[in-house]
Structure 1
Amino acid sequence: MTAVVETQDSPWLRFAVRRAGRLLVSVWVLVTAAFLMIHLIPGDPVRAALGPTASVDLVNARRAALGLNDPLWLQYLHYLGDLLTGDMRTSMISGLPVSQVIGDRLPATLELAVYAFALAVVVAIPLGAGMAVLTRGGRRRPVELAFTSTSAVLAVIPEFLLAVGLVYVFGVQLGLVPVAGRDGLDSYVLPVLSLAVGPAAVLARIVRVEMLTVLQADFVRTARAKRLPERLVYLRHALPNALTATITLGGLLLSGLVAGTVLAENVFAWPGLGSTIVQSILAKDYPVVQGVVLVYGLGVLVVNLAVDVVLALLDPRSTIRES
């Protein structure tokens, strides 16, 4: 009885159960949507994939191999069972297991997303915090105007348009770095920059706003009253308290970066999941499309869960109380 009461009164356990339940429901919705995708496409997906010249016998055989002649509910159960055993079906075009196709391409996509996110954070946090210190109390209006205007413009430029501009300037005109492929460290420069510029601008603006708010807080004034060095006031007292909103937004931006790699990979001919899903859509290779959609969706869900956990660790009173 005591153990039951302790379990019910444990905020961390309630938090874990709530987040786990939310994750399971989200995964179920994602899997169901991926399954229905192939059935919502007008016409016969097998005929579309094999082309109009394919024989009727070949189309019927492929439909039978994919289980598309079974009732929809039975197909759904088979699909769930296959996913639970790690079977993501077989590519209609290459004949390779979808899990193998994804396994070969996923590392390249993860590299782009992680490197771009790391660059955005490394640039945005010191830039936003520094601008807050420089412009606090209405000081240096021209600097504040230049920062807000520039960051606003960079934040709204579409990633693919920025990628094309980077290719033209640094690849075609200056010839400094490669514009296509994944061969050597210099081939990472333009794709990572095209993905990192927008998120860095958004994060820097958020960091500045949060830092300005924290610098007016009572505990910062108390720290200054103790005559602590300004460096310690900013780094030890102000900056950590200004990062809560930044972490939340950073998680959303990382989720967006995972999906944003689709456009960047196609501009730079990057051999990742982004280029794979576009090629599969054009070739009507629906099992591969389903698999890649699942991977992208699960990536977003995992990032959101990680953000929730980090926020709970940094600010357990407010975050866990919501549970």
Structure 2
Amino acid sequence: MATKLTDFENLWIPKINHVLANEITQDTDQTTLAAAMNYSVNAGGKRLRPLLTLAVLTSLGDKIDHTVLKTSCALELMHSYSLIHDDLPAMDNDDLRRGKPTNHVKFGAGMATLAGDGLQPLAFQWLVDNDLDNETQAELTLALAKAAGPHGMVSGQADDIEFEGTRLSLEGLQKLDRNKTGALIRYAVEAGLIMGRVIPEKRQSLLTFAEKFGEAYQIYDDILDVVGTEAEIGKPVHQDAGKNTYPNLVGLDQSYEMLHETIQQAQQALQTAGEELSIDTNLLNDFTSYFKNEDEK
């Protein structure tokens, strides 16, 4: 992994984890519910989404105080809610997440459902229960609602369920993944642009980077289900046999080619953003090292 990103992660992941480990319980007055919410949020993970927000702000030269940090962490609550519900018996019925029993295995399906139900509104609470100006709070809230809602992540999840066992076109698969996976990744970058007060007319290149990064993330995840191991990715592999994935649709070799092309498009968008905003985008470019094994399998 690139040195600049490694240093950035070493600085910010402990701070992200501290917020997530200590501030959920303060807003929860039911002991078992708090335990279930904390269990999934603090089960590990790369913290990729809040890191992207913080990386955008760092690239813009903005100061990151506790308010900005906690606001950035709100997305991790939304992401964790989606994982809890995605794992439920009525959805994917998975027993393992991040190398640990899933929430419903640990707490039961009812309490797991409520843990997700609690994390979703808490994410919005963290966007507004702070000293950010009202305009920034409102813009962040609207953007996250769109990214997580029925025109974003929930729409993608609905497509995933409805079309399981049905072969989608490539365009259909890209729409599914753009919503299910890409929407929250795009919001992570958008949140940094909003808090960094970048005018809407100057945001598109970084948003294009986010969209292409999210696309690459899903292609890579699909590939890992075929070539990875449970120890590497923290969940069962070879689970996507009946699902719409890139390897199932276009084959493994073509999936690698599409991944490589998508990464290049993300990097090209960053180059444009650097020129338009007069910023150093090397830190954001280092995030593409997440896919460093794309030519090694």
Greater share of helix: 1
| Superposition TM-score, scaled by structure 1 size | 0.27
Q: TM-score, normalised to structure 2's length?
A: 0.29
- The structure having more radius of gyration, on CA atoms, is 1
